[in-house]
Amino acid sequence: RKEVEQDPGPFNVPEGATVAFNCTYSNSASQSFFWYRQDCRKEPKLLMSVYSSGNEDGRFTAQLNRASQYISLLIRDSKLSDSATYLCVVNANTGGFKTIFGAGTRLFVKA
């Protein structure tokens, strides 16, 4: 089993749609969680950190369920500019840190 698993994608959605990405992690000692966005041929950029209480930034909402070891990202009212790869990232300190990236989920938003 991969340490961080994401929906394989790609997701193809029309503008204005709501889209949800899911991510699971296997290491219960994981300490911090993030969603990154990566555009084609660009570096990954932090989209948002993920907290157990859930957090929202405009059209983006992230949730963490530690009991289920599950992370989600919800994008409402999708824009063309949301088209990118979304990477789930988990940091775990298991006697030595590890930052683990999921394989990423590609999103295409179409007019």
Site for other proteins, rule CB under 8 A: 31-32, 34, 41-46, 49, 87, 89, 91-93, 96-99, 101-104
Residue 83 CB, nearest approach to other proteins (Å): 15
3-state secondary structure the chain: CCCEEECCCCEEEECCCCEEEEEEECCCCEEEEEEEEECCCCCEEEEEEECCCCEEECCEEEEEECCCCEEEEEECCCCHHHCEEEEEEEEEECCCEEEEECCCEEEEEEC
Q: Give residue for tokens 């930052």.
A: 99
Of 32 and 61, CB closest to other proteins: 32
Of 36 and 82, CB closest to other proteins: 36
Residue 12 CB, nearest approach to other proteins (Å): 17
Of 17 and 100, CB closest to other proteins: 100
Residue 27 CB, nearest approach to other proteins (Å): 12
Residue 5 CB, nearest approach to other proteins (Å): 12
